[in-house]
Structure 1
Amino acid sequence: MITLCRGRYQSRIAAAPEDVAAAQALRHLAFHGVAGSDCDSFDSLCGHMLVEEVRSGQLVCCFRFMPLRSGSEIGRSYAAQFYELSALAGFSGPMIEMGRFCIRPGLTDPDILRIAWGAMTAYVDHTGAELLFGCASFPGTDSQEYLDAFATLNARHLAPPRWQPRVKAPEVFRFAQGPLCTPDPRKAMLRMPPLLRTYLMMGGWVSDHAVVDMQMNTLHVFTGVEIAAIPPARKRLLRAVAG
Protein backbone atom coordinates (compact mmCIF):
# COMPACT_ATOMS: atom_id res chain seq x y z
CA MET A 1 0.00 0.00 0.00
CA ILE A 2 1.38 3.42 -1.01
CA THR A 3 1.02 5.82 1.92
CA LEU A 4 2.69 8.89 0.44
CA CYS A 5 3.96 9.93 -2.99
CA ARG A 6 5.92 13.16 -3.24
CA GLY A 7 8.05 14.08 -6.25
CA ARG A 8 10.70 11.42 -6.88
CA TYR A 9 9.82 9.27 -3.86
CA GLN A 10 7.01 7.20 -2.45
CA SER A 11 6.56 5.54 0.92
CA ARG A 12 4.64 2.42 1.73
CA ILE A 13 4.34 -0.17 4.48
CA ALA A 14 6.00 -3.50 3.68
CA ALA A 15 3.35 -5.93 2.45
CA ALA A 16 5.33 -9.11 1.73
CA PRO A 17 8.34 -11.06 3.04
CA GLU A 18 10.48 -9.82 0.16
CA ASP A 19 9.78 -6.22 1.25
CA VAL A 20 11.11 -6.97 4.72
CA ALA A 21 14.11 -8.78 3.22
CA ALA A 22 14.90 -5.69 1.13
CA ALA A 23 14.76 -3.52 4.26
CA GLN A 24 17.06 -5.93 6.11
CA ALA A 25 19.54 -5.80 3.23
CA LEU A 26 19.55 -2.00 3.18
CA ARG A 27 20.00 -1.90 6.95
CA HIS A 28 23.04 -4.17 6.78
CA LEU A 29 24.58 -2.07 4.03
CA ALA A 30 23.94 1.16 5.95
CA PHE A 31 25.06 -0.10 9.36
CA HIS A 32 27.96 -2.37 8.37
CA GLY A 33 29.07 -1.06 4.97
CA VAL A 34 28.83 -4.42 3.20
CA ALA A 35 26.14 -6.62 1.71
CA GLY A 36 24.24 -8.86 4.09
CA SER A 37 21.03 -9.10 6.08
CA ASP A 38 20.46 -7.22 9.34
CA CYS A 39 17.68 -9.10 11.09
CA ASP A 40 16.55 -9.94 14.61
CA SER A 41 13.55 -11.28 16.48
CA PHE A 42 11.89 -7.84 16.61
CA ASP A 43 11.37 -7.73 12.83
CA SER A 44 8.40 -10.09 13.07
CA LEU A 45 6.80 -7.89 15.75
CA CYS A 46 7.12 -4.64 13.79
CA GLY A 47 5.72 -2.95 10.74
CA HIS A 48 8.29 -1.79 8.19
CA MET A 49 8.15 1.52 6.33
CA LEU A 50 9.86 1.70 2.95
CA VAL A 51 10.80 4.81 0.97
CA GLU A 52 11.48 4.11 -2.70
CA GLU A 53 12.47 6.11 -5.75
CA VAL A 54 9.39 6.09 -7.95
CA ARG A 55 11.13 5.71 -11.32
CA SER A 56 13.63 2.99 -10.46
CA GLY A 57 11.87 1.32 -7.54
CA GLN A 58 15.15 1.45 -5.59
CA LEU A 59 14.74 1.30 -1.81
CA VAL A 60 16.39 4.46 -0.47
CA CYS A 61 15.28 4.53 3.17
CA CYS A 62 13.54 2.31 5.69
CA PHE A 63 12.62 2.02 9.34
CA ARG A 64 10.51 -0.25 11.47
CA PHE A 65 7.86 0.64 14.03
CA MET A 66 6.18 -1.12 16.94
CA PRO A 67 2.92 0.27 18.36
CA LEU A 68 2.33 -0.16 22.10
CA ARG A 69 -1.00 0.40 23.83
CA SER A 70 0.62 2.28 26.73
CA GLY A 71 3.75 2.40 28.86
CA SER A 72 2.66 -0.84 30.53
CA GLU A 73 4.03 -2.60 27.40
CA ILE A 74 7.36 -0.77 27.36
CA GLY A 75 9.18 -3.97 28.32
CA ARG A 76 8.35 -5.41 24.88
CA SER A 77 10.36 -2.75 23.09
CA TYR A 78 13.77 -3.09 21.49
CA ALA A 79 15.06 -0.21 23.62
CA ALA A 80 14.18 -2.06 26.83
CA GLN A 81 17.12 -4.40 26.15
CA PHE A 82 19.50 -1.51 26.75
CA TYR A 83 17.69 0.93 29.06
CA GLU A 84 15.85 0.53 32.35
CA LEU A 85 12.50 2.04 31.35
CA SER A 86 10.30 1.50 34.39
CA ALA A 87 9.69 5.27 34.64
CA LEU A 88 7.87 5.12 31.30
CA ALA A 89 5.67 2.26 32.46
CA GLY A 90 3.37 4.92 33.89
CA PHE A 91 2.85 6.65 30.53
CA SER A 92 -0.87 6.24 29.96
CA GLY A 93 -1.21 6.90 26.24
CA PRO A 94 -0.41 4.90 23.09
CA MET A 95 3.25 4.80 22.05
CA ILE A 96 5.25 3.93 18.95
CA GLU A 97 8.83 2.70 18.97
CA MET A 98 10.71 3.69 15.81
CA GLY A 99 13.92 1.83 15.03
CA ARG A 100 16.54 0.69 12.52
CA PHE A 101 16.16 3.96 10.61
CA CYS A 102 18.62 4.20 7.72
CA ILE A 103 19.18 5.90 4.36
CA ARG A 104 21.07 4.26 1.50
CA PRO A 105 24.76 5.26 1.78
CA GLY A 106 25.76 8.06 -0.55
CA LEU A 107 22.27 9.58 -0.87
CA THR A 108 21.86 13.08 0.55
CA ASP A 109 18.59 14.31 -0.94
CA PRO A 110 16.72 15.97 1.97
CA ASP A 111 13.40 14.91 0.42
CA ILE A 112 14.17 11.33 1.51
CA LEU A 113 14.21 12.27 5.18
CA ARG A 114 11.24 14.58 4.65
CA ILE A 115 8.99 11.89 3.17
CA ALA A 116 10.10 9.37 5.81
CA TRP A 117 8.98 11.72 8.56
CA GLY A 118 5.83 12.52 6.64
CA ALA A 119 5.00 8.81 6.54
CA MET A 120 5.63 8.44 10.27
CA THR A 121 3.52 11.55 10.96
CA ALA A 122 0.63 10.05 9.03
CA TYR A 123 0.97 6.82 11.01
CA VAL A 124 1.15 8.65 14.35
CA ASP A 125 -1.98 10.62 13.49
CA HIS A 126 -3.76 7.45 12.34
CA THR A 127 -3.01 5.56 15.56
CA GLY A 128 -3.40 8.46 17.98
CA ALA A 129 0.04 7.80 19.47
CA GLU A 130 1.12 10.20 22.21
CA LEU A 131 4.81 9.27 22.45
CA LEU A 132 7.31 8.40 19.73
CA PHE A 133 10.56 6.87 20.97
CA GLY A 134 13.62 4.93 19.88
CA CYS A 135 17.40 4.72 20.00
CA ALA A 136 19.29 7.41 18.05
CA SER A 137 22.75 6.19 17.05
CA PHE A 138 26.13 7.88 16.59
CA PRO A 139 28.45 5.92 14.27
CA GLY A 140 31.35 4.25 16.07
CA THR A 141 31.96 3.78 19.78
CA ASP A 142 34.50 6.54 20.53
CA SER A 143 32.67 9.10 22.66
CA GLN A 144 35.55 11.59 22.31
CA GLU A 145 34.49 12.23 18.72
CA TYR A 146 31.14 13.60 19.87
CA LEU A 147 31.91 15.63 23.00
CA ASP A 148 30.33 18.82 21.63
CA ALA A 149 27.18 16.92 20.71
CA PHE A 150 26.92 15.16 24.07
CA ALA A 151 27.61 18.39 25.97
CA THR A 152 24.76 20.02 24.05
CA LEU A 153 22.42 17.13 24.81
CA ASN A 154 23.31 17.45 28.49
CA ALA A 155 22.76 21.19 28.55
CA ARG A 156 19.51 21.38 26.57
CA HIS A 157 17.82 18.09 25.83
CA LEU A 158 17.74 15.71 28.81
CA ALA A 159 14.51 13.82 29.47
CA PRO A 160 12.17 15.14 32.15
CA PRO A 161 13.03 13.42 35.46
CA ARG A 162 9.66 11.62 35.51
CA TRP A 163 10.52 9.79 32.25
CA GLN A 164 14.32 9.52 32.52
CA PRO A 165 15.65 6.08 31.50
CA ARG A 166 18.13 4.53 33.92
CA VAL A 167 21.27 2.53 33.21
CA LYS A 168 20.88 -1.12 32.25
CA ALA A 169 23.52 -1.86 29.60
CA PRO A 170 26.92 -3.13 30.82
CA GLU A 171 28.90 -0.39 29.04
CA VAL A 172 27.67 3.20 28.91
CA PHE A 173 28.99 6.74 28.54
CA ARG A 174 27.46 8.90 31.32
CA PHE A 175 27.71 12.23 29.55
CA ALA A 176 25.46 14.04 32.07
CA GLN A 177 27.57 13.31 35.15
CA GLY A 178 30.13 16.04 34.67
CA PRO A 179 31.18 18.86 32.35
CA LEU A 180 32.62 17.56 29.09
CA CYS A 181 33.47 20.83 27.36
CA THR A 182 31.95 24.16 26.42
CA PRO A 183 30.10 23.02 23.31
CA ASP A 184 30.52 24.67 19.95
CA PRO A 185 26.85 24.80 18.77
CA ARG A 186 27.74 24.51 15.08
CA LYS A 187 30.11 21.59 15.62
CA ALA A 188 27.60 19.92 17.93
CA MET A 189 24.83 19.95 15.34
CA LEU A 190 27.16 18.74 12.59
CA ARG A 191 28.07 15.74 14.74
CA MET A 192 24.47 14.90 15.61
CA PRO A 193 22.97 12.06 13.55
CA PRO A 194 20.27 13.39 11.16
CA LEU A 195 17.57 11.34 12.88
CA LEU A 196 18.48 12.77 16.28
CA ARG A 197 18.54 16.33 14.90
CA THR A 198 14.99 15.82 13.68
CA TYR A 199 13.86 14.47 17.05
CA LEU A 200 15.37 17.50 18.79
CA MET A 201 13.71 19.96 16.39
CA MET A 202 10.39 18.39 17.42
CA GLY A 203 11.13 19.03 21.09
CA GLY A 204 12.55 15.56 21.74
CA TRP A 205 14.57 14.57 24.79
CA VAL A 206 17.26 11.98 25.48
CA SER A 207 18.60 9.69 28.18
CA ASP A 208 21.41 11.00 30.40
CA HIS A 209 23.80 8.34 29.10
CA ALA A 210 24.74 6.69 25.83
CA VAL A 211 24.92 2.93 25.39
CA VAL A 212 28.10 1.56 23.87
CA ASP A 213 26.77 -1.03 21.42
CA MET A 214 29.74 -3.04 20.16
CA GLN A 215 27.56 -5.35 18.04
CA MET A 216 26.19 -2.44 15.97
CA ASN A 217 29.37 -0.35 16.35
CA THR A 218 27.39 2.63 17.63
CA LEU A 219 26.81 4.87 20.61
CA HIS A 220 23.10 5.39 21.06
CA VAL A 221 20.85 7.44 23.28
CA PHE A 222 17.24 6.75 24.16
CA THR A 223 15.14 9.45 22.52
CA GLY A 224 11.52 10.37 23.10
CA VAL A 225 9.12 12.88 21.56
CA GLU A 226 5.84 13.68 23.27
CA ILE A 227 3.47 14.42 20.42
CA ALA A 228 1.53 17.08 22.34
CA ALA A 229 4.77 18.99 22.96
CA ILE A 230 5.86 19.28 19.30
CA PRO A 231 5.98 22.98 18.40
CA PRO A 232 2.89 23.98 16.35
CA ALA A 233 4.95 25.25 13.42
CA ARG A 234 6.83 21.95 13.23
CA LYS A 235 3.55 20.01 13.36
CA ARG A 236 2.20 22.03 10.45
CA LEU A 237 5.29 21.29 8.37
CA LEU A 238 5.13 17.55 9.09
CA ARG A 239 1.40 17.34 8.39
CA ALA A 240 1.82 19.29 5.17
CA VAL A 241 4.05 16.46 3.94
CA ALA A 242 1.87 13.75 5.47
CA GLY A 243 -1.29 15.20 3.96
Structure 2
Amino acid sequence: MAIELMDSVLTTDAATSAAKTRPTGDILGRIGTLETRLARSNAEIDAAQAVRYRVFVEEMKAQLSPDAMRRRRDIDAWDMVCDHLLVLDTSIEGDSEEQIVGTYRLLRQDVARTSGGFYSQSEFDVDALLAQHPAKRFMELGRSCVLPQYRTKRTVELLWQGNWAYALKHGVDAMFGCGSFGGTVPEEHALALSFLHHNALARDEWAVSARPELMRTMDLMPNEAVNPRKALSAMPPLIKGYLRLGAMVGEGAVVDHAFRTTDVLIVLPISNISGRYLNYYGADAGRFAS
Protein backbone atom coordinates (compact mmCIF):
# COMPACT_ATOMS: atom_id res chain seq x y z
CA MET A 1 0.00 0.00 0.00
CA ALA A 2 1.49 3.31 -1.08
CA ILE A 3 1.73 5.13 2.26
CA GLU A 4 4.62 7.06 0.73
CA LEU A 5 1.97 9.08 -1.09
CA MET A 6 1.29 10.84 2.21
CA ASP A 7 3.98 13.35 1.27
CA SER A 8 2.18 14.26 -1.92
CA VAL A 9 -1.23 14.68 -0.33
CA LEU A 10 0.13 17.60 1.65
CA THR A 11 0.49 19.47 -1.64
CA THR A 12 -2.96 18.68 -3.03
CA ASP A 13 -5.13 20.25 -0.35
CA ALA A 14 -7.23 22.35 -2.69
CA ALA A 15 -8.21 19.46 -4.94
CA THR A 16 -8.94 17.24 -1.97
CA SER A 17 -11.05 19.86 -0.25
CA ALA A 18 -13.11 20.33 -3.38
CA ALA A 19 -13.87 16.61 -3.50
CA LYS A 20 -14.67 16.28 0.19
CA THR A 21 -18.24 15.94 1.44
CA ARG A 22 -19.61 15.70 4.92
CA PRO A 23 -19.80 12.11 6.21
CA THR A 24 -22.68 10.93 8.36
CA GLY A 25 -23.38 8.21 10.90
CA ASP A 26 -20.49 5.78 11.40
CA ILE A 27 -18.49 6.98 8.40
CA LEU A 28 -15.03 8.11 9.52
CA GLY A 29 -14.15 10.03 6.38
CA ARG A 30 -15.13 10.63 2.77
CA ILE A 31 -13.35 12.01 -0.28
CA GLY A 32 -15.32 12.05 -3.50
CA THR A 33 -16.86 8.61 -3.98
CA LEU A 34 -14.51 6.94 -1.48
CA GLU A 35 -15.43 6.55 2.17
CA THR A 36 -13.93 4.81 5.18
CA ARG A 37 -15.63 3.12 8.13
CA LEU A 38 -15.57 -0.08 10.14
CA ALA A 39 -17.16 -3.23 8.75
CA ARG A 40 -20.82 -3.44 9.78
CA SER A 41 -21.49 -7.14 9.20
CA ASN A 42 -19.96 -10.57 8.79
CA ALA A 43 -20.70 -10.28 5.07
CA GLU A 44 -18.49 -7.18 4.84
CA ILE A 45 -15.71 -8.92 6.78
CA ASP A 46 -15.97 -11.83 4.35
CA ALA A 47 -15.66 -9.40 1.44
CA ALA A 48 -12.60 -7.79 3.06
CA GLN A 49 -11.05 -11.24 3.39
CA ALA A 50 -11.69 -11.75 -0.32
CA VAL A 51 -9.87 -8.49 -1.11
CA ARG A 52 -6.96 -9.65 1.05
CA TYR A 53 -6.89 -12.96 -0.83
CA ARG A 54 -6.69 -11.14 -4.16
CA VAL A 55 -3.73 -9.07 -2.96
CA PHE A 56 -1.81 -11.54 -0.81
CA VAL A 57 -2.38 -14.76 -2.74
CA GLU A 58 -3.19 -13.84 -6.33
CA GLU A 59 -0.78 -10.90 -6.48
CA MET A 60 1.90 -11.70 -3.88
CA LYS A 61 1.70 -15.53 -4.08
CA ALA A 62 1.19 -16.19 -0.36
CA GLN A 63 0.48 -19.79 0.67
CA LEU A 64 -2.46 -20.00 3.09
CA SER A 65 -4.13 -22.96 4.76
CA PRO A 66 -5.92 -25.46 2.49
CA ASP A 67 -9.28 -24.24 3.81
CA ALA A 68 -8.41 -20.59 3.08
CA MET A 69 -7.19 -21.48 -0.41
CA ARG A 70 -10.36 -23.45 -1.10
CA ARG A 71 -12.58 -20.62 0.12
CA ARG A 72 -10.43 -17.99 -1.64
CA ARG A 73 -10.30 -15.95 1.53
CA ASP A 74 -7.37 -14.76 3.64
CA ILE A 75 -8.74 -15.73 7.02
CA ASP A 76 -7.40 -16.59 10.47
CA ALA A 77 -8.53 -16.69 14.11
CA TRP A 78 -7.85 -12.98 14.70
CA ASP A 79 -10.51 -11.96 12.18
CA MET A 80 -13.19 -12.85 14.72
CA VAL A 81 -11.90 -10.44 17.37
CA CYS A 82 -10.45 -7.57 15.30
CA ASP A 83 -12.25 -4.54 13.94
CA HIS A 84 -11.98 -4.26 10.18
CA LEU A 85 -11.42 -0.83 8.69
CA LEU A 86 -12.71 -0.53 5.14
CA VAL A 87 -12.39 1.86 2.22
CA LEU A 88 -15.36 1.64 -0.13
CA ASP A 89 -15.94 3.12 -3.56
CA THR A 90 -19.60 4.08 -3.47
CA SER A 91 -19.65 4.63 -7.24
CA ILE A 92 -19.48 0.86 -7.76
CA GLU A 93 -22.96 -0.53 -8.37
CA GLY A 94 -24.16 -3.22 -6.00
CA ASP A 95 -24.04 -3.95 -2.29
CA SER A 96 -21.41 -2.59 0.07
CA GLU A 97 -19.55 -5.90 -0.09
CA GLU A 98 -18.84 -5.23 -3.77
CA GLN A 99 -17.57 -1.72 -3.05
CA ILE A 100 -14.67 -2.64 -0.72
CA VAL A 101 -11.35 -1.61 -2.28
CA GLY A 102 -9.06 -1.47 0.76
CA THR A 103 -8.89 -2.77 4.31
CA TYR A 104 -6.91 -2.68 7.55
CA ARG A 105 -7.28 -4.93 10.58
CA LEU A 106 -7.28 -3.25 14.01
CA LEU A 107 -6.77 -5.00 17.35
CA ARG A 108 -6.84 -3.09 20.64
CA GLN A 109 -4.83 -4.25 23.62
CA ASP A 110 -7.87 -4.76 25.85
CA VAL A 111 -9.41 -7.05 23.23
CA ALA A 112 -6.16 -8.93 22.60
CA ARG A 113 -5.72 -9.53 26.33
CA THR A 114 -8.92 -11.57 26.46
CA SER A 115 -8.68 -13.13 22.99
CA GLY A 116 -5.34 -14.90 22.71
CA GLY A 117 -2.95 -11.98 22.25
CA PHE A 118 -1.66 -10.11 19.22
CA TYR A 119 -0.87 -11.54 15.80
CA SER A 120 2.65 -10.02 15.91
CA GLN A 121 3.50 -12.02 19.03
CA SER A 122 4.13 -15.06 16.83
CA GLU A 123 7.20 -13.26 15.44
CA PHE A 124 8.22 -10.57 17.95
CA ASP A 125 8.51 -10.29 21.73
CA VAL A 126 5.62 -7.88 22.04
CA ASP A 127 5.02 -8.84 25.69
CA ALA A 128 8.32 -7.24 26.70
CA LEU A 129 7.31 -4.00 24.99
CA LEU A 130 3.90 -3.95 26.67
CA ALA A 131 5.49 -4.61 30.06
CA GLN A 132 7.54 -1.43 29.70
CA HIS A 133 4.34 0.63 29.39
CA PRO A 134 1.71 -0.75 31.78
CA ALA A 135 -0.27 2.51 31.73
CA LYS A 136 -0.35 2.87 27.94
CA ARG A 137 -2.93 1.48 25.52
CA PHE A 138 -1.58 -0.26 22.45
CA MET A 139 -3.22 -1.10 19.13
CA GLU A 140 -2.01 -3.52 16.47
CA LEU A 141 -2.39 -2.67 12.78
CA GLY A 142 -2.33 -5.55 10.34
CA ARG A 143 -3.38 -7.04 7.01
CA SER A 144 -3.15 -3.70 5.24
CA CYS A 145 -4.01 -3.98 1.56
CA VAL A 146 -5.55 -2.00 -1.28
CA LEU A 147 -6.61 -3.24 -4.71
CA PRO A 148 -4.03 -2.22 -7.35
CA GLN A 149 -6.23 0.28 -9.19
CA TYR A 150 -6.98 2.13 -5.93
CA ARG A 151 -3.40 2.61 -4.70
CA THR A 152 -3.72 6.37 -4.80
CA LYS A 153 -3.30 9.23 -2.37
CA ARG A 154 -7.03 9.45 -1.71
CA THR A 155 -7.25 5.84 -0.54
CA VAL A 156 -4.17 6.29 1.63
CA GLU A 157 -5.60 9.45 3.16
CA LEU A 158 -8.78 7.66 4.12
CA LEU A 159 -7.04 4.59 5.58
CA TRP A 160 -4.92 6.79 7.80
CA GLN A 161 -7.91 8.98 8.65
CA GLY A 162 -9.76 5.87 9.79
CA ASN A 163 -6.83 4.58 11.84
CA TRP A 164 -6.31 7.97 13.45
CA ALA A 165 -10.00 8.47 14.29
CA TYR A 166 -10.20 4.95 15.73
CA ALA A 167 -7.06 5.45 17.83
CA LEU A 168 -8.38 8.70 19.27
CA LYS A 169 -11.80 7.21 20.01
CA HIS A 170 -10.25 4.38 22.00
CA GLY A 171 -7.52 6.38 23.72
CA VAL A 172 -4.67 4.56 22.01
CA ASP A 173 -1.17 5.66 23.03
CA ALA A 174 0.89 3.60 20.58
CA MET A 175 0.40 1.55 17.42
CA PHE A 176 2.49 -1.35 16.18
CA GLY A 177 2.42 -4.05 13.53
CA CYS A 178 4.49 -5.99 11.03
CA GLY A 179 5.89 -4.24 7.99
CA SER A 180 6.98 -6.53 5.18
CA PHE A 181 9.70 -6.76 2.54
CA GLY A 182 8.95 -9.05 -0.38
CA GLY A 183 10.80 -12.35 -0.40
CA THR A 184 12.31 -14.68 2.17
CA VAL A 185 15.99 -13.71 1.81
CA PRO A 186 16.77 -10.76 4.10
CA GLU A 187 20.14 -10.27 2.42
CA GLU A 188 18.32 -9.16 -0.74
CA HIS A 189 17.21 -6.10 1.27
CA ALA A 190 20.57 -5.45 2.91
CA LEU A 191 20.57 -1.73 2.12
CA ALA A 192 17.09 -0.95 3.47
CA LEU A 193 17.35 -3.27 6.48
CA SER A 194 20.74 -1.86 7.44
CA PHE A 195 19.37 1.68 7.17
CA LEU A 196 16.56 0.73 9.56
CA HIS A 197 19.01 -0.90 11.96
CA HIS A 198 21.33 2.10 12.08
CA ASN A 199 18.79 4.92 11.89
CA ALA A 200 15.35 3.83 13.12
CA LEU A 201 15.89 1.23 15.82
CA ALA A 202 13.51 1.46 18.78
CA ARG A 203 15.56 1.97 21.93
CA ASP A 204 15.25 2.26 25.70
CA GLU A 205 11.63 1.93 26.84
CA TRP A 206 10.45 1.28 23.28
CA ALA A 207 12.98 -1.45 22.54
CA VAL A 208 11.53 -4.69 21.19
CA SER A 209 13.12 -7.67 19.45
CA ALA A 210 12.23 -10.52 17.16
CA ARG A 211 11.73 -13.85 18.91
CA PRO A 212 15.24 -15.33 19.41
CA GLU A 213 14.53 -18.53 17.51
CA LEU A 214 13.26 -16.54 14.50
CA MET A 215 15.56 -13.52 14.52
CA ARG A 216 17.52 -12.61 11.40
CA THR A 217 19.96 -9.74 11.64
CA MET A 218 19.21 -6.41 9.96
CA ASP A 219 22.81 -5.27 10.49
CA LEU A 220 23.97 -6.39 7.06
CA MET A 221 26.05 -3.36 6.05
CA PRO A 222 28.18 -0.89 8.08
CA ASN A 223 26.52 2.45 8.61
CA GLU A 224 29.13 4.30 6.57
CA ALA A 225 28.30 2.13 3.55
CA VAL A 226 24.57 2.93 3.65
CA ASN A 227 23.37 5.63 1.26
CA PRO A 228 20.22 7.02 2.95
CA ARG A 229 18.62 8.21 -0.27
CA LYS A 230 19.08 4.87 -1.98
CA ALA A 231 17.97 3.01 1.15
CA LEU A 232 14.71 4.95 1.35
CA SER A 233 14.14 4.42 -2.35
CA ALA A 234 14.47 0.67 -1.78
CA MET A 235 12.08 0.72 1.18
CA PRO A 236 8.57 -0.75 0.85
CA PRO A 237 6.05 2.11 0.70
CA LEU A 238 4.25 1.03 3.90
CA ILE A 239 7.43 1.04 5.98
CA LYS A 240 8.68 4.28 4.44
CA GLY A 241 5.35 5.92 5.20
CA TYR A 242 5.45 4.89 8.83
CA LEU A 243 8.99 6.25 9.17
CA ARG A 244 7.76 9.60 7.88
CA LEU A 245 5.08 9.59 10.55
CA GLY A 246 7.73 9.09 13.23
CA ALA A 247 7.81 5.30 13.65
CA MET A 248 10.67 3.12 14.86
CA VAL A 249 11.48 -0.53 14.17
CA GLY A 250 12.27 -3.43 16.46
CA GLU A 251 15.57 -5.30 16.55
CA GLY A 252 15.84 -8.11 14.02
CA ALA A 253 13.74 -9.33 11.11
CA VAL A 254 11.63 -12.48 10.78
CA VAL A 255 11.05 -14.53 7.63
CA ASP A 256 7.39 -15.39 7.06
CA HIS A 257 7.49 -18.33 4.68
CA ALA A 258 3.70 -18.55 4.27
CA PHE A 259 3.40 -14.97 3.03
CA ARG A 260 6.84 -15.04 1.40
CA THR A 261 7.96 -11.90 3.19
CA THR A 262 10.67 -10.65 5.51
CA ASP A 263 9.00 -8.82 8.39
CA VAL A 264 10.10 -6.05 10.72
CA LEU A 265 8.11 -4.71 13.65
CA ILE A 266 6.92 -1.12 13.31
CA VAL A 267 6.41 0.81 16.57
CA LEU A 268 4.64 4.18 16.45
CA PRO A 269 3.96 6.04 19.70
CA ILE A 270 1.23 8.63 19.17
CA SER A 271 3.53 11.22 20.74
CA ASN A 272 6.04 10.63 17.92
CA ILE A 273 3.68 11.38 15.04
CA SER A 274 5.08 14.21 12.97
CA GLY A 275 3.40 17.54 13.55
CA ARG A 276 2.65 18.16 9.87
CA TYR A 277 0.55 14.99 9.74
CA LEU A 278 -1.31 15.87 12.92
CA ASN A 279 -2.04 19.27 11.43
CA TYR A 280 -3.15 17.75 8.14
CA TYR A 281 -5.48 15.09 9.52
CA GLY A 282 -6.56 17.12 12.53
CA ALA A 283 -5.64 16.63 16.17
CA ASP A 284 -9.26 15.55 16.70
CA ALA A 285 -9.36 13.39 13.54
CA GLY A 286 -11.56 15.97 11.90
CA ARG A 287 -9.69 16.51 8.61
CA PHE A 288 -12.09 14.38 6.57
CA ALA A 289 -14.76 13.72 9.16
CA SER A 290 -16.13 17.12 10.05
TM-score, normalising length: structure 2 = 0.76
The correspondence of residues 144-223 of structure 1 with structure 2, limited to 5 A, is: 144-168=187-211, 170-176=213-219, 179=222, 182-223=225-266
Given that 1:172 and 1:210 are in contact with CA atoms closer than 8 Å, whether structure 2 keeps it comes out as yes
The answer to which of 10-19 and 225-234 deviates more is: 225-234
Whichever residue aligns with residue 206 of structure 2, its letter is: W
Q: Which runs of 5+ in 1 are unaligned?
A: none
The residue type equivalent to 1:96 in the other structure is: M
- 2:37 aligned residue: 12
- The aligned counterpart of 1:135 is 178
Work out whether 1:83 is the aligned partner of 2:124.
Answer: yes
Cα distance in 2 for partners of 1:73, 1:153 equals 33
SS at structure 1 position matched to 2:225: coil
**Is 1:38–2:38 an aligned residue pair?**
no
Task: Quote how far apart the aligned CAs of 1:64 are.
Answer: 0.6
Judging changes above 3 Å, is the alpha-carbon distance between structure 1 residues 140 and 127 closer, same or farther for their aligned structure 2 residues? Answer: same
Distance in 2 (CA, whole Å) between partners of 1:155 and 1:227 is 22
Cα distance between partner residues in 1 of 2:75 and 2:212: 21
Deviations 1:49-102 (A, max 9, x none): 010112115322101101114997897111111111213223121111110001
The percentage of counterpart residues that share the same residue type is 28
Please tell me the residue identity of whatever aligns with 2:269: E
Q: Greater CA deviation, 54-63 or 44-53?
A: 54-63
- Matched residue pairs, number? 243
C-alpha distance in 2 between matches for 1:206 and 1:73: 26
Q: Give the one of 160, 165, 168 matched to 1:125.
A: 168
CA contact (8 A) 1:68 1:74 kept: no
How far has the Cα of 1:107 moved from its partner?
3.5
The verdict on how the C-alpha distance between 1:19 and 1:181 changes in structure 2, with shifts beyond 3 A counting, is: farther
2:47 aligned residue: 22
Higher RCO (Cα < 8 Å, 6 or more apart): 2
Say which structure is richer in strand: 1
2:100: which partner in 1?
Answer: 59
User: What is the RMSD of the two structures over their aligned residues, measured on CA atoms?
Assistant: 2.4
Q: In 2 relative to 1, CA 3–234 (structure 1 residues): closer, same or farther, beyond 3 Å?
A: closer
Per-residue CA shift, 1:139-184, capped at 9, x if unaligned? Answer: 2212233222112111211012323223326443211376377223
Q: Return the letter of the residue paired with 1:63.
A: Y
Contact 1:175 1:209 in 2 (8 A): yes
Structure 2, unpaired ranges of 5+: 1-25, 60-68, 93-97
Deviation sequence 1:116-145 (CA, Å, 0-9, x none): 001111111111110011111112212233
Letter of the 2:248 partner, please give it: W
2:140 equivalent in structure 1: 97
Deviation at 1:223, TM superposition (A): 0.7
